[in-house]
Amino acid sequence: MDRIDFVKRIVGLGTGATLIVISVLMLLSGTRIPGAYLDYTISIGGTDKDFQLDLTLFIYFVIMFIGLGAVMVALKPSRLPDSVIVSYPVSRLIAGLLLFAMGVFFLVEYGVEFGGYNDVGNWFFLGGFSMFFPTGAFPLLVGAILLVISAFTYMKLNITRTPDHLVIDEMRFPRSMSVKIPLQDIQAMRLTNGRTGMRFLWVILFIIPVYFLYVDGFSFILNPDLYGMGTCGIFPFMDGAGECVGLAYLLSATVQLACMLLIVINSHYTIEIVTTDKLIEIPYYPINYKSLKRSNLAHVLFDDEGRGLPGEPVASIKQAGDVKRLACGALFVIIGIASRVFYLWAGEMLRFVLLIAGIIIFVDSMKNDLKFVNSRVDVRAIDEGRGYLLSGTGWLFKNDLYFQGVRQLSDCRKEDVVAANMKVQPRKLSIIDHLLVTAILFFIGFQGFPVGLLVPASMAGFMAARVGLVILTCAAIALAIMLNPVHVFKVKLGDCNFQVPVKMAAVQGVSPLVSLFINFFRKYKMAWQTHRVQMLWRMAEMAIAAGVGMLVSAIMLFV
């Protein structure tokens, strides 16, 4: 770090800290900034009332965030790079545009009034908010935020290999970064677009309005006689205000659902580099065909686009399509929807968890478990087996790996490197998997407790329908997700481990279907033999979650 850079950092740090302290002090003092407000009027029941939107709080928060930003920038090195891969989150832009446009449409159509009588309807309380609020306000807000974020997420990424280093230059607003990694320090690299990560939070954010809009929308649309014949508003082919509102609800819900799926399915690429002492992650969204073509480790490491790679091919890993998690996810969603339609099985809290878990598991499975993702992974030995490059040949979702100087691999014969590192084990779970399954079991216990305790004997059928059909089914699915044994090629590097699913060899002398069944149970048996403690812990985790759910429920009921 040169002296100028050091001075810049000190100045940034000082400025940032000062701004944070000032903003906190001003917030605590309660002092208004003169003139920093907007006057507005709300018509309540026909009477206009004047209010002020005081911007002081926002200004203090902006100061605080600027301070935090300054501190963060000061703590990071920066350097302008050249550009090779162009990154822009186009799915976020499209979702933002769709949501924003829909929000504006409903804003214009319904306005923002509340109070008084109108021919369309009100929301939230008697004579309450206009229909813009349930249909357009949330999309408008989220769309605007997405558009603002999209405006600042353009990035250029240049990865250059010198004889001794891998140089990564990243140029993005508001700062650029450059890092130089000694090649000899690199232990592993992964390039994938199959990980959704924190983007799954969008499911939690969207599922609530989408669910409520669909429920109310369908109740309006499917019961036209209930609502009489009012004026029609935006959909002239509809008969009554209820149907028009219903259609608006369904339109809003569908657009929001589509945007949510667009955001979570079209995930970003990530290059992970594991060195002896650092973990480097570079997320990006290739925006054009060239950038997409460059998004593979062969290009990143060897500047190759399919020609003249160093080393030699040593094996080819075949993966069987695994649809178990896909089916589990779909089943959760179906149970969630059916529970509302038939007033059975699940209450609202469990229903939300089932819908959230179902969508997340379905999407994650689609990206990682299906055959078209990793139908074949070519393994290439580099430098006589000191390094290995694993290139996925699947389309849409990609998973490339590179290892260098890893003794677990370099100690093997090149020809045996795959066979020697394959094993059956319970599926590696992310923190999200644990959270989802724990939440499902918790809420099964939570809502199951009063059902078991308070349903009268005359409702035995009710009990059977719930316990037999759903609670046990959901628990069984959750168990399957937790214990699901997989046959993988696995490389472990301290606290990081890398896995590639591998198709298990068919059992000789039997039909493929029988072989499938035999292998299915064999995998459970093998996983149990080698990972018994881990599997027991996972079962215990589920049992504890359900038990805690029941306990909390009992406390709430009796205390």
Subset of residues 494 to 513 that bind another protein, contact rule: CB under 8 A:
494-495
Binders of another protein in range 518-557 (CB under 8 A): 553, 556-557
Binders of another protein in range 72-111 (CB under 8 A): 72
215 near another protein, judged by CB under 8 A: yes
Which element (helix H / strand E) includes 437?
helix 431-454
Closest approach of another protein to the CB of residue 33, in Å: 7
Q: Which amino acid is at 279?
A: L
Nearer CB in complex with another protein: 275/534: 275
Closest approach of another protein to the CB of residue 377, in Å: 26
Binds another protein (CB under 8 A): choice among 7, 10, 25, 44: 44
CA dihedral 393→399→402→406, nearest 10 degrees, is: -120
Asked if 168 and 178 touch (Cβ cutoff 8 Å), the reply is yes
Exposure string for 457-479, b = 16+ CB within 10 A, e = fewer = eeeeeeeeebbeebbeebbebbe
235 near another protein, judged by CB under 8 A: no
Binding track, positions 128-167, relative to another protein; x by CB under 8 A: xx--------------------------------------
Which element (helix H / strand E) includes 362?
helix 348-368
Q: What's the CA gap between 453 and 546, in Å, rounded?
A: 15
313 near another protein, judged by CB under 8 A: no
The CA–CA distances, whole Å, from 246 to 7, 107, 142 equal: 61, 17, 22
252 near another protein, judged by CB under 8 A: no
Number of chain positions touching another protein (CB under 8 A): 90
Q: Which amino acid is at 107?
A: L
Stretch that binds another protein, among 203-211, 237-245, 358-366, 367-375 (CB under 8 A): 237-245
Closest approach of another protein to the CB of residue 288, in Å: 20
Nearer CB in complex with another protein: 13/320: 13
451 near another protein, judged by CB under 8 A: yes
Binds another protein (CB under 8 A): choice among 102, 245, 545, 546: 245
15 near another protein, judged by CB under 8 A: no
Q: What's the CA gap between 186 and 184, in Å, rounded?
A: 6
123 near another protein, judged by CB under 8 A: yes
Closest approach of another protein to the CB of residue 201, in Å: 13
Stretch that binds another protein, among 98-106, 288-296, 343-351, 502-510 (CB under 8 A): 343-351
Q: What's the CA gap between 234 and 106, in Å, rounded?
A: 9
Binds another protein (CB under 8 A): choice among 64, 95, 300, 326: 64
37 near another protein, judged by CB under 8 A: yes
237 near another protein, judged by CB under 8 A: no
Q: Which residues contact 411 (CB under 8 A, 6 or more apart)?
A: none
Nearer CB in complex with another protein: 248/366: 248
Binds another protein (CB under 8 A): choice among 282, 359, 481, 486: 282
Degrees to nearest 5, angle at CA 267 with 261 and 268? 155
Stretch that binds another protein, among 199-207, 315-323, 342-350, 517-525 (CB under 8 A): 342-350
Q: What's the CA gap between 210 and 206, in Å, rounded?
A: 6
280 near another protein, judged by CB under 8 A: yes
Degrees to nearest 5, angle at CA 385 with 380 and 391? 20
Asked if 319 and 393 touch (Cβ cutoff 8 Å), the reply is no
Asked if 213 and 220 touch (Cβ cutoff 8 Å), the reply is no
CA dihedral 71→72→73→79, nearest 10 degrees, is: 140
Tokens of 526: 């093998």
305 near another protein, judged by CB under 8 A: no
On the 0-12 / 13-18 / 19+ scale of CB atoms within 10 A, 494 is: exposed
> Rg of the chain over CA atoms, in angstroms?
28
Binding track, positions 380-399, relative to another protein; x by CB under 8 A: --------------------
Nearer CB in complex with another protein: 267/484: 267
11 near another protein, judged by CB under 8 A: no
168 near another protein, judged by CB under 8 A: yes
Binds another protein (CB under 8 A): choice among 2, 39, 48, 225: 225
Backbone angles phi, psi at 141, to 5 degrees: -65, -50
On the 0-12 / 13-18 / 19+ scale of CB atoms within 10 A, 123 is: middle
Which element (helix H / strand E) includes 38?
strand 37-44
Stretch that binds another protein, among 188-196, 221-229, 261-269, 414-422 (CB under 8 A): 221-229
> What is the distance, to the nearest Å, from the Cα of residue 558 to the centroid of all Cα atoms in its chain?
37
Stretch that binds another protein, among 4-12, 96-104, 329-337, 456-464 (CB under 8 A): 456-464
Tokens of 383: 């430098």
On the 0-12 / 13-18 / 19+ scale of CB atoms within 10 A, 301 is: buried
- H helices of 152-221, in order, are 201-221
343 near another protein, judged by CB under 8 A: yes
Nearer CB in complex with another protein: 170/322: 170
61 near another protein, judged by CB under 8 A: yes
Q: What's the CA gap between 259 and 150, in Å, rounded?
A: 15
Backbone angles phi, psi at 187, to 5 degrees: -100, -40
425 near another protein, judged by CB under 8 A: no
469 near another protein, judged by CB under 8 A: no
Nearer CB in complex with another protein: 170/369: 170
Stretch that binds another protein, among 413-421, 454-462, 500-508, 515-523 (CB under 8 A): 454-462
54 near another protein, judged by CB under 8 A: yes
Tokens of 137: 């306000």
Nearer CB in complex with another protein: 134/143: 134
Nearer CB in complex with another protein: 24/97: 24
32 near another protein, judged by CB under 8 A: yes
